[in-house]
């Protein structure tokens, strides 16, 4: 702290500061903090609205998020919202709150299901607790409008997309303090794709390791100097992990260790590997020899992310990633009829319900045990299609 003050000119106010300690040398740090007059706090604490802890978050730690969402739904000004208004609140406010947490934590699937259950209940009843009034299942809503849904995104899919962004940062933001810490203490010269699952690290780190198979499908490396690309595990030839093609014996055959970088497989102006004339991995040898030899003159290696079929770019898009990992349905031909630029949202929503045949018509209410006729014509067995036919016969379109 004295070194920091000497360099920056900023001194810490001990009376307004606390130190939070985790690790094996806790008692030593507590003694030093007390000598400086700084109080010792206990984790977890809340910072920028989110909990900070060294352990896995408990259901109690997620309650602030659940309570905040519930308060938004129970606000008096939201009680008069139409279906379209509630939908807009879910898509713009509730989803943004969850995404803020998902940008830092991988939320448990059970908590995401709880939030989606509250959203479904609020959409159809105006209350997050009344879950028996749903007209359309939540899964059917969570598709783009072009595919017959309402444009709501599944929280599990957005959570995965945000987690893949964290993995992307490990390969592209070398100046990040978090990335430097991960590489120094957890990876230790090993590849992210090869590090063991039981390695030390936080609960978030272990969850990221479980997403490696999914993340690997989206990433490729364009080798330039080869100084940051792992020979056996990074997808730098477009064929996946070379260790999968050769097995563990490949490291002995080619004379390259598991942690070897691509630049270490070059000698002079060409590739340098053992047993180039061996028939065992002749196809692999030929593929490697066909690759351009890394050179310092070409600059640093470039990590690319999959944007589409055979389309890779050096940027990350959460929306594009979500589009690739979500479930898809065939596009519907009536989308432009309902969702056009000048539509009135609540009318468009009712029209969408009519297409789904989820309006409270006579035939549907009778299946619920309710017998009630139309207030205009008195018809008790009116169906959606019957009402449409009568309007056409009267010259109304």
The pLDDT of residue 322 is 93
- Max Cα separation, the chain? 91
Q: Which are the contacts of 203, defined by CB distance < 8 A and separation ≥ 6?
A: 55, 56, 57
The pLDDT of residue 396 is 47
Q: Which are the contacts of 295, defined by CB distance < 8 A and separation ≥ 6?
A: 224, 225
Cα–Cα distance, 139 to 119 (Å, whole number): 12
The pLDDT of residue 276 is 67
Q: In sequence order, which ranges of the chain are alpha helices (DSSP H)?
A: 2-8, 26-36, 59-74, 83-89, 95-102, 109-125, 138-141, 155-172, 177-181, 203-210, 212-216, 242-246, 250-254, 282-290, 318-325, 335-338, 345-355, 362-367, 384-393
Domain boundaries, the chain: 2-42, 224-300, 335-393
CA dist list (Å): 200 to 44, 100, 135, 187, 203 = 20, 26, 48, 10, 9
Cα–Cα distance, 369 to 371 (Å, whole number): 7
The pLDDT of residue 376 is 66
Low-confidence ranges of the chain (pLDDT < 50): 391, 396-397
The pLDDT of residue 397 is 45
Cα–Cα distance, 335 to 352 (Å, whole number): 9
**What backbone torsions phi and psi does residue 339 show, to the nearest 5 degrees?**
-110, 85
The pLDDT of residue 214 is 94
Please give the DSSP secondary-structure letter assigned to residue 222. Answer: E
**Residues pairing with 41 in the sheet:** 20
Q: How far apart are the first and last CA of the chain?
A: 76
3-state secondary structure of 361: coil
Backbone torsion region of residue 247, taken as left when φ is above 0, otherwise alpha when ψ lies between -120 and 50, otherwise beta: left
The pLDDT of residue 155 is 94
111: which 2 tokens? 């908590």
Is-cis flag, bond preceding 297, omega within 30?
no
């Amino acid at each position: 702290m004295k070194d920091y003050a000497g360099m920056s000119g900023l001194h810490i106010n001990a009376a307004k500061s606390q130190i939070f300690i985790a690790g094996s040398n806790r008692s030593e740090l507590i003694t030093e903090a007390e000598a400086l007059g700084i109080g010792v706090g206990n984790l977890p604490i809340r910072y920028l609205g989110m909990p900070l802890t060294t352990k896995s978050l408990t259901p109690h730690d997620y309650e602030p998020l659940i309570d905040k969402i519930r308060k938004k739904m129970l606000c008096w000004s939201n009680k008069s919202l139409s279906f379209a208004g509630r939908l807009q609140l879910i898509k713009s406010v509730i989803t943004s709150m969850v995404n803020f947490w998902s940008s830092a934590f991988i939320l448990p699937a059970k908590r995401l299901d709880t939030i989606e259950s509250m959203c479904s209940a609020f959409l159809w009843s105006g209350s997050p607790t009344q879950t028996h009034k749903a007209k359309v299942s939540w899964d059917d809503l969570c598709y783009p409008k072009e595919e017959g849904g309402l444009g709501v995104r599944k929280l599990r899919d957005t959570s995965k997309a945000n987690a893949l962004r964290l993995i992307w940062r490990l390969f592209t933001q070398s100046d990040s303090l978090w990335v430097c810490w991960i590489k120094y203490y957890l990876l230790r010269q090993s590849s992210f794709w090869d590090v063991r699952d039981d390695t030390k690290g936080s609960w978030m780190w272990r969850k990221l390791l479980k997403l490696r198979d999914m993340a690997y499908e989206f990433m490729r490396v364009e080798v330039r100097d080869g100084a940051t690309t792992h020979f056996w595990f990074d997808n730098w030839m477009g064929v996946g992990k070379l260790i999968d093609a050769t097995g563990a014996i490949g490291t002995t055959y080619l004379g390259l260790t598991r942690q070897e970088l691509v630049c270490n497989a070059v000698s002079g102006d060409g590739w340098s590997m053992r047993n180039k004339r061996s028939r065992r991995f002749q196809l692999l040898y030929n593929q490697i020899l066909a690759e351009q030899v890394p050179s310092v003159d070409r600059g640093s290696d470039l990590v690319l992310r999959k944007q589409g079929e055979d389309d890779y770019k050096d940027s990350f898009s959460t929306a594009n990633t979500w589009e690739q990992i979500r479930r898809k349905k065939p596009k519907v031909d009536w989308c432009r009829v309902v969702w056009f630029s000048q539509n009135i949202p609540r009318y468009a929503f009712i029209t969408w319900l009519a297409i789904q045949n989820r309006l409270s018509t006579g035939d549907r209410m009778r299946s619920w045990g309710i017998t009630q006729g139309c207030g205009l014509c008195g018809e008790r067995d009116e169906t959606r299609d019957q009402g449409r036919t009568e309007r056409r016969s009267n010259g109304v379109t």
